[in-house]
Structure 1
Amino acid sequence: MTQQDRERIASGLADKLSYGEIARRLDRPTSTITREIARNGGPTGYRPQQAHQATIRRARRGTPAPPLATTPPVATLEQEILEMAIRAGMPRTAARVHHDLALSEDGRRTAAELSRRLQVSPASVSVAVNFLVQHGFVRRERDPRRRRDIYVIDDDAWYHAIMISERQTLETARATMAAARTYGLDSPVGQRLAKTAAYLEHVSLDILESAARWRTLLA
């Protein structure tokens, strides 16, 4: 609303016009005129200049400062990494254990430490660690003095995880090829299975070779 509009409101009040008539002359909703007068002194105390200045001040106070271009909080970035691991197929607790180990100073935690830090039961930690060990992400070390296991993630963890995963894929390829021969390599099913087996085998061998070639980056 402009200052000229407010001058016309003041003039209408002076002429004893109704709020509805003032609104009609300004082509505004009656509710707008009612609020404008009520918040700026009422029908007997309305002053257009003061009303206009007060509205400007209220607008300035209510305008949020532009957001600063800041880096997302570390916690947000960590949560994004965790969610990506879960989307990739890692169970949630296993992903949390893996993430906590990866961010520890020396890459080592006991079961009790993991249970306390993650607020999960020792049984849940055990299941999660078994998954991570099975897939090569973590290894167990025995503490002979205190007779407890220590779970370790080291620089070679991703190498071992890739090697285990691709060896399993190679086993799948070989089993698929055996099934293809059972159905007959001349049959539609046998041909489909044979193509699948060949694809899986070649991709897995390429990945295994690449993982070995680039392992020096982890040293």
Structure 2
Amino acid sequence: MAGGRLSLEDRQSIAAGIAEGIAYAEIARRIGRPTSTVSREVARNGHRDYTADRAQRATRRRGLDRDSAPRTDTLADRTDAFVDELASLIAATGMPRMASRVFATLITSSNSTLTAAELVRGLGVSPASVSKAIGYLEGMELVERRPEPGSRRERYWVGDDVWTRAMRADSSGHARVADAAQRGLALFGADTPAGIRLARMGRFFGDLTEQLRGIDLADSAIDDTLTVIAALGHARRPVTVHRLASALGWPASRLDHAIRHLQQRPTLADPFSVCESVAGYELQPRPDRLSREQGDALRTPALQTTEG
């Protein structure tokens, strides 16, 4: 049954497919499972020495071990599931499935770069599949390569500016990817390499609506404007121009340019607005996002007491 645990019949089909030399993707299609499920099953239970009976017994033993120990949803299980979901959502925007899996793996890797061999082992696929996927991603300018010092091998990575050159797809697909990126950010942590890359990813896809209206994400003014919004949100109080420029380490002219850009395109701060007073600049919720009744309800003492 798709979505549940593998049955003995499923494992027998996997073993038969391996014996025939069939690719994991085709085996997965035959049993109605994701390719990653098959690759993890084989990697966990013997690789090319995989047999259905042995895999079934090993799974039962692991189940007994889990039953006798405190039940935990391991980080490895959750991250594997997230990478699979992220790859599926990226594929839905038009990218080939294998390229999506390689891209999702690079984005969520704890290392900044991965070799082709590391991708092959991690995904449980052939070197040819990884090579073809890398070629596609390089052609789309989504992945870059660099030589490994002291070795003939090359390492692949997702550059910081990749999102200004990323593919365009339908807006609903981008919205789902942005949502997944935000959930991944919470899973991996904002201060981890994966979290940092996922934050950039979420920001890119979240900004696509504005891009479709003619905003050039490659314009450095956009990035500066978003930085100002983040700084005001972090401050949580009015900040003078001098203090804001000092905190950001910017010259006054750069800050002035970013603020003018924000005034010209206030939707960049949505669902907030940047307000100016004698005390400085401040980030405030847009009043049109909530009805008067909703705003009053959130400010009532009864709600605060209930939550406390």
Under a length normalisation based on structure 1, what TM-score does the superposition of the two structures give?
0.43
Looking at CA atoms only, which structure, 1 or 2, has the larger radius of gyration?
1
